[in-house]
């Protein structure tokens, strides 16, 4: 085992001031530029210490606010504070092996974080973290194997994204942009096509012998996740009132993040009874007018999300949408036969997508187990 401090030197970035940021020169790389959360790239056109310059292939480690390790490939740039540049000047080490090893140690680093509002790791704590360091050939063997598996994971994710894009493209081709409505479909509030609506049960519980009661965590955008369901022993009255039916539509009613309010999915039978709690609104549309797959696609689109946001209310730090708010959302209503054609296409795409998802899940399990084997 070797301490990280005995393997390399870790150079912190420079504390650029707001006045240093301009419109020309070399880009100043902050943590948010590494994590993909930046929309405001700044540049510096002055004299700087050579040690804060970064180039393609450099390994960077964010140590404050957001802990992470990154392989830089964005060209010549300058490093802001709270990020280490790794200089391999002490031991022979494969940089990809180092990247994988440190990535696996991030959880360990998180346990050593300090600060109530901003997580950070003290440099001495970081340098004292140990990793296994076999000979260079073994490092390369391990890193090459992990890189191949990681690239396969990326490829599978890209395939899934392609299928999602395909569905969205067909929707626009068949129905047009719901906001501008170029095909001039009838546009009505959802209240005119809702046949039934109710909030779920308020009671909480957890019993492995009980029935599945959906929570917000299971209700994702366009899908319902049954991987870790919550189960509650229900009374007969509760079962009667909160039982979900085929093609019921589920909306997230409340959340501390407004972006999560209103996310929705269609319920399909899974072979056992499923119920829902009061953080979810169940709606059933008139099946003769609306196909659930069509409704899910439009309501989870940017148009649907914009409509939803306009109906959200806030109180005590929580954002909510009511049944009336959902009913006030306007949607286009193309002929049901076109909606059904679209749903049939989505079903075929989902079959292919599920095969890829299964392969992705298996590959991710393999990757995680190897990371644990070599670096855990």
| 294 lies in the same domain as 341 | no
1-29 pLDDT, tens digit each: 899 999 999 999 999 988 888 989 999 99
Give the residue among 102, 115, 33, 118 at the shortest CA–CA distance from 68.
102
* 181: in domain: no
Instruction: Tell whether the model's pLDDT for residue 350 goes beyond 50.
Output: yes
Q: Would you say 79 and 51 are in contact if contact means Cβ atoms under 8 Å apart?
A: no
The H-or-E segment that residue 354 falls in is helix 336-375
Which structural domain range is residue 347 located in? 136-175+335-376
pTM attached to this predicted model: 0.77
- Give the C-alpha distances (Å, rounded to integers) separating 198 from 275, 304, 363: 12, 20, 40
- For residues 363-376, average pLDDT: 93
For residue 148, what is the domain's CATH number?
Answer: 1.10.287.1120
The arithmetic mean of pLDDT across residues 101-118, rounded, is 68
For residue 235, give every residue at least 6 positions away whose Cβ sits within 8 Å of its Cβ, in sequence order, or none.
none
Whether 89 and 36 map to the same domain: the answer is yes
Same domain? 196 vs 88: no
Q: What is the pLDDT of residue 116?
A: 44
| CATH number of residue 100's parent domain | 3.90.220.20
The burial of 334, by beta-carbon neighbours within 10 Å (0-12 exposed, 13-18 middle, 19 or more buried), is given as buried
| Domain-located, residue 197 | yes
Tens of pLDDT, residue by residue over 44-66, are 999 999 999 999 999 999 888 77
Judged against a pLDDT cut of 90, whether residue 256 lies above it is answered with no
Tens of pLDDT, residue by residue over 202-238, are 999 889 899 999 999 999 988 899 989 999 999 999 9
> Is the same domain home to 157 and 265?
no
Does residue 214 share a domain with residue 100?
no
Place of tokens 């393609």: 56
CA dist 233 and 206 (Å) reads 8
């Amino acid at each position: 085992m070797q301490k990280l401090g005995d393997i390399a030197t870790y150079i912190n970035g420079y504390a650029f001031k707001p006045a240093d940021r301009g419109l020309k020169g070399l880009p100043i790389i902050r943590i948010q530029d590494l994590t993909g959360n930046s929309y405001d790239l700044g540049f510096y056109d002055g004299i700087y210490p050579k040690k804060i310059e970064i180039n393609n292939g450099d390994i960077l480690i964010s140590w404050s606010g957001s802990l992470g390790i990154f392989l830089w490939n964005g060209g010549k740039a300058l490093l802001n504070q709270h990020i280490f540049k790794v200089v391999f000047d002490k031991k022979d080490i494969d940089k990809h092996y180092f990247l994988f090893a440190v990535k696996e140690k991030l959880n360990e680093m998180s346990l050593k974080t300090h600060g109530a509002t901003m997580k950070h790791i003290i440099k001495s704590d970081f340098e004292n973290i140990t990793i296994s360091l076999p000979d260079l050939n073994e490092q390369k063997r391990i890193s090459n194997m992990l890189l191949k598996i990681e690239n396969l994971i990326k490829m599978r994710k890209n395939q899934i994204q392609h299928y999602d894009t395909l569905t969205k493209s067909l929707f626009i081709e068949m129905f047009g942009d719901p906001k501008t409505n170029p095909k001039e479909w009838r546009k009505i509030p959802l209240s005119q096509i809702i046949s039934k609506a109710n909030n779920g049960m308020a009671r909480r519980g957890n019993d492995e012998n009980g029935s599945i009661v959906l929570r917000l965590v299971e209700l994702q955008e366009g899908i319902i996740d049954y991987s870790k369901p919550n189960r509650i022993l229900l009374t007969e009255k509760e079962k009667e009132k909160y039982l979900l039916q085929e093609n019921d539509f589920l909306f997230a009613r409340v959340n501390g993040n407004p972006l999560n309010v209103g996310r929705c999915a269609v319920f399909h039978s899974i072979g056992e009874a499923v119920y829902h709690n009061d953080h979810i609104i169940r709606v059933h549309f008139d099946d003769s007018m609306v196909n659930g797959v069509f409704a899910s696609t439009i309501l989870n689109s940017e148009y649907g999300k914009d409509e939803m946001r306009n109906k959200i209310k806030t109180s005590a730090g929580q954002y909510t949408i009511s049944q009336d708010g959902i009913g006030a959302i306007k949607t286009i209503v193309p002929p049901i036969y076109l909606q059904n054609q679209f749903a049939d296409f989505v079903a075929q795409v989902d079959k292919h997508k599920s095969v890829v998802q299964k392969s992705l899940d298996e590959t991710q399990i393999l990757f995680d187990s190897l990371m644990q084997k070599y670096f855990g």
